[in-house]
């Protein structure tokens, strides 16, 4: 009798857990489905979208034609790509070098520096937004893409811990053997360590790329010239520029959001193997 009750309880518990997971999964997927549907949705002749799922379910690519035919959107996309790639390259180099130095070198302030960087990394970046703006304004760098690159890559060292955990797993014997053969520390880093660190490099590249690609807060604070907008700010201004622009441009906005999201999803899916390896390899105590 007891065994039967345990089976019933276990079965009811499994039913509850699966029902909860299915509900959460639907709630998570539904906005994505709606975004995709609206991106291909034919805009009503009135330009006003006042129903979630109308009787007319015609689909088309007119929104994408309108979006990609807009030279300003292509300029925003180019600006975003330029800022994201430049910031990603600088951030990746900074993180790798700082992580390797904290993993291998031993000096008096090593532990305090690691603790300070770890604590500072816990604070969201937008808390420094006002101070960063006035510093850039004093330097005459506001309203420029260079300012965005500096902002995104300036605090790269704060994300050292995952990469440092990976370097802690690399045997020191390999480096010591190379140094005995006459190799300098930079040569050991670039010629021996870097070829072995492909997973953590890919992980660092992906995490460094997605932040400037999707950021809105700093761009909205620093950039005011419409020609220098990134995609996030440009799409936001597209539906908030005028009183009726939301209704007129909402489907085009969804098409742009789908394009931006598709690029990120493609990037992650193509490098998923190395991304997971980088996380697991760096998740060690060091």
Residue 1 falls inside a structural domain: no
| Token pair listed for 85 | 């790639």
178 lies in a domain? yes
Evaluate whether 73 touches 256 at the Cβ level (below 8 Å): yes
Does residue 79 lie within any of the structural domains?
yes
Domain residue limits at 154: 71-282
pLDDT digit string (tens) for the chain, length 286 residues? 566 777 778 888 888 989 999 999 999 898 888 888 888 877 655 444 555 555 455 566 777 888 888 788 889 999 999 999 999 999 988 888 888 888 888 888 888 888 888 888 777 777 788 888 888 888 888 888 898 898 888 888 787 888 888 888 888 888 888 888 788 878 888 888 888 888 888 888 888 888 888 888 888 888 888 888 999 888 888 887 666 666 677 888 888 888 888 888 888 787 777 666 655 554 444 4
Total count of domains within the chain: 1
241 in any annotated domain: yes
Residue 29, domain member (yes or no): no
Cβ neighbours for 74, distance < 8 A, ≥ 6 positions apart = 68
**Residue 169 domain-assigned?**
yes
pLDDT for 46 = 47
Report the CATH number at residue 262.
Answer: 1.10.3720.10
Q: Kindly state whether residue 18 falls inside one of the protein's structural domains.
A: no
Report yes or no on 227 lying in a domain.
yes
């Amino acid at each position: 009798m007891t065994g039967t009750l345990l089976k019933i309880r276990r079965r009811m518990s499994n039913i509850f857990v699966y029902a909860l997971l299915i509900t959460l999964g639907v709630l998570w997927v539904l906005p994505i489905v709606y975004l995709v549907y609206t991106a291909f949705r034919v805009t009503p002749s009135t330009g006003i979208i006042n129903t979630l799922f109308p009787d007319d379910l015609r689909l088309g690519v007119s929104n994408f034609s309108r979006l990609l035919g807009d030279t300003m959107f292509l300029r925003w996309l180019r600006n975003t790509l330029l800022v994201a790639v430049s910031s990603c390259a600088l951030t990746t180099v900074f993180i790798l070098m700082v992580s390797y130095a904290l993993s291998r070198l031993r000096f008096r302030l090593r532990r305090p520096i690691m603790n300070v960087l770890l604590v500072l990394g816990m604070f969201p970046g937008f808390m420094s937004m006002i101070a960063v703006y006035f510093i850039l304004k004093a330097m005459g760098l506001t309203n420029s893409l260079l300012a965005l690159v500096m902002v995104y890559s300036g605090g790269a060292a704060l994300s050292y811990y995952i990469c440092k955990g990976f370097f802690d797993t690399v045997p020191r014997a390999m480096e010591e053997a190379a140094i005995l053969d006459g190799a300098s520390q930079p040569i050991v880093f670039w010629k021996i360590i870097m070829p072995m660190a492909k997973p953590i490099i890919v992980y660092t590249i992906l995490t460094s790329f997605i932040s400037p690609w999707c950021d809105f807060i700093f761009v909205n604070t620093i950039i005011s010239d419409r020609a220098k907008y990134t995609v996030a700010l440009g799409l936001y201004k597209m539906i908030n520029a005028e009183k009726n622009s939301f209704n007129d441009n909402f489907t085009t906005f969804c098409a742009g959001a789908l394009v931006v999201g598709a690029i990120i999803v493609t990037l992650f899916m193509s490098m998923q193997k190395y991304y997971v390896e980088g996380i697991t390899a760096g998740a060690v105590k060091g």
